[in-house]
């Protein structure tokens, strides 16, 4: 088994419970960890034998473009999209962070992490 990680991808998106957040938008970070068997790729050096990082990034980018009220919902959609595209994935962990959230004071970020084993 191998762990593939893509860390701190940055997106501008329109997630939030408040109407203003869905209009003005905010900066977000997403990190993902994917556990998958890579023995074939280790031997063949063939991209088709592993999880393509570019495809993962594009799936996350698509999900980040869809408005949601809750980070939990965004995280669930990302995990489901990865699992639907890569059936050989055994575990996915994702962290979605909203930078400078409007909480009435100085807060660097709020985050939701979600993990699923298949």
Residue-wise pLDDT tens digits, 80-110: 999 999 999 999 999 999 999 999 999 999 9
Mark whether 98 is an active-site residue.
yes
Q: What is the pLDDT, as a whole number, of residue 37?
A: 96
8 C-beta neighbours (distance < 10 Å), count: 9
The span from the CA of 94 to the CA of 5, in Å, is 10
Q: What is the pLDDT, as a whole number, of residue 82?
A: 98
Band of pLDDT at residue 114, cut at 50, 70 and 90: very high
The number of folded domains in the chain is 1
Give pTM, 2 decimals: 0.95
Which of 113, 72, 116, 118 is closest to 94 using CA atoms?
113
Q: What is the pLDDT, as a whole number, of residue 92?
A: 98
Band of pLDDT at residue 70, cut at 50, 70 and 90: very high
In tens, the pLDDT along 30-55 reads 999 999 999 999 999 999 999 999 99
Average pLDDT, the chain: 97
- For residue 86, the enclosing domain spans 2-117
Please return the burial class of 19, using the count of CB atoms within 10 Å of its CB with bins 0-12, 13-18 and 19+: exposed
Q: Which of 19, 98, 106, 117 is catalytic?
A: 98
Mean pLDDT over 8-36 rounds to: 97
CATH number, domain containing residue 66: 3.30.1130.10
């Amino acid at each position: 088994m191998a762990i593939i990680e893509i860390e701190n991808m940055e997106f501008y998106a329109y997630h939030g419970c408040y109407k203003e957040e869905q209009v003005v938008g905010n900066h977000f970070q997403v990190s993902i960890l994917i556990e998958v068997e890579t023995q074939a790729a280790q031997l063949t050096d063939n991209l088709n034998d592993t999880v393509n990082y570019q495809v993962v990034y594009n799936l996350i980018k698509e999900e980040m473009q869809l408005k949601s009220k809750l980070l939990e919902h965004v995280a669930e959609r990302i995990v489901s999209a990865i699992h639907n595209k890569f059936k050989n994935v055994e575990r996915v962990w994702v962290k979605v962070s909203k930078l400078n959230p409007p909480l009435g004071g100085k807060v660097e970020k709020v985050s939701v992490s979600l993990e699923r084993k298949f």
